[in-house]
Copies of this chain bind each other. A is one copy, B any other.
Amino acid sequence: MTPSTGDRLLSVVRDGVRIHDLGRRLFVGMPQSPNHPAYWHTLPRRHGDRVRADGGSAANDMVVMGTHVGTHIDALAHVSQDGLLHGGADAAAAGAGGVYPEHGVHTIAPMVRRGVLLDIPAVLGETCPPGHEITPADLEAAQKRQGTPVGAGDVVLIRSGWGRHFENPDHRVYRGEESGVPGVGEAGARWLAERRAHAAGADTIAFERLAPGAGHSRLPAHRVLLVESGIYIIETLALDELAAAGVHEFTFVLAPLPLFGATGSPVRPLAVVSDTLVPDTVVSCRGGAGIGGTDG
């Protein structure tokens, strides 16, 4: 019934794509930074609370959260240095009124662009140790090993392996305040900026390397990327399954919620690749949440 399409993109999609879901499920009690309001979900109305005369009933939700919870993106409004935001705007004045009209997350255009996964454990031969700084040499080695050099406008996802701690019921492990957390430092951030990445992500809460016991006292990669370079940061990504599938280059899709004036947004990014073995079938790699239909 459905005709062939004249659109090249849709034609390729209909030949079959595989979707890798890079977003963590949001649930009450998940690990997150204590600097941000905790994610909470509740049902004000459940089925049966109010049944209409025709037998219909609706359930609904209330959600409370910071925006830097779950898998999320940092807008340029999130970080300032010496009182200035990216581009030199006065950070205090930019937020007068309780919103950032010029630098908020609603200003981030939806992304459909090349994404590159840099799989650092594949280079190191082990998951990055706590507090390990991922160096430019590590990044170079990863892109060389994979044959996927980073280019201007790309979204670069850096896998440290730390994501394996996300489901640890002791949230201090994933947050890693005491142990330290692996990630890029100032040098790695500069490497990304020099390549003119569009956005950069990681499988940790803070994106960047945290020294053991140091907490968030210094965040040089945020400064280099957000403030100096205007490069967005994506945190708490689920990257292990993408790495296990051996997918290092893909179409990266991300549409932040356009929360007017906010400093960030929870997101559900996708890595999409052609897969003619599963024609017109959407398949994701993240368990129950991501199994698509086969309605072709």
B-binding residues in A (CB < 8 A): 1-3, 5-10, 12-15, 17, 19, 21, 23-29, 34-38, 40-50, 52-68, 70, 77-83, 85, 91-92, 94-100, 106-107, 109-114, 147-154, 195-196, 198, 217-219, 222-223, 249-251, 253, 255-264, 266-270, 272-274, 280, 282, 284, 288-293, 295-296
Q: List 8 A-B contacts (CB under 8 A).
A: A1-B151, A2-B151, A5-B249, A46-B92, A48-B91, A59-B77, A62-B62, A111-B292
A52 to B217, CA, bound (A): 7
Copies of this chain:
4
Q: Give the Cβ gap from A41 to chain B, nearest Cβ, in Å.
A: 6
Q: Give the Cβ gap from A262 to chain B, nearest Cβ, in Å.
A: 5
**Closest chain B CB from A151 CB (angstroms):** 3
Q: Which residues of B contact A83 (CB under 8 A)?
A: 47-48, 55, 57
A34 to chain B, nearest CB (A): 8
Tell whether, in the assembled complex, residue B10 and residue A273 are in contact, meaning their CB atoms are under 8 Å apart.
Answer: yes
Asked if A64 and B43 make an inter-chain contact with CB atoms under 8 angstroms apart, the answer reads no
Contact of A2 among B55, B149, B253, B295 (CB under 8 A): B149
- Given A109-B284, A258-B24; A67-B59 close (CB under 8 Å): no
Asked if B274 and A256 make an inter-chain contact with CB atoms under 8 angstroms apart, the answer reads no
Q: In the complex where A7-B250, A91-B57, A272-B112 touch, is A257 in contact with B26 (Cβ < 8 A)?
A: yes
9 smallest A-B Cβ distances: which pairs? A2-B151, A153-B295, A47-B91, A42-B44, A109-B292, A27-B260, A255-B268, A8-B274, A61-B67
Q: Is the CB of A14 within 8 A of B58?
A: no
A219–B67 Cα gap in the complex (Å)?
33
- A289-B255 Cα distance, complex, nearest whole Å: 11
* Cβ A9 vs Cβ B106 within 8 A: no
Tell me if A99 and B2 are in contact (CB < 8 A): no
Q: Are B59 and A268 in contact (CB under 8 A)?
A: no
A42 touches B62 (CB 8 A): yes
On whether the beta carbons of A65 and B63 are closer than 8 Å, the reply is yes
Whole-angstrom distance between the Cβ of A274 and the nearest chain B Cβ = 4
Is A98's CB under 8 angstroms from B17's CB? no
A56 near B149 (CB under 8 angstroms)?
A: no
Contact B21 A110 (CB under 8 A): yes
With A112-B272, A292-B109 known as contacts, the answer to whether A97 contacts B49 (CB < 8 A) is yes
Assess the B13–A114 pair: CB atoms within 8 A: yes
Cross-interface CB contact of A79 among B37, B56, B291, cutoff 8 Å: B56
Query: In this complex, what residue of B is CB-closest to A288?
Result: B107
Complex Cα distance A43/B270, Å?
28
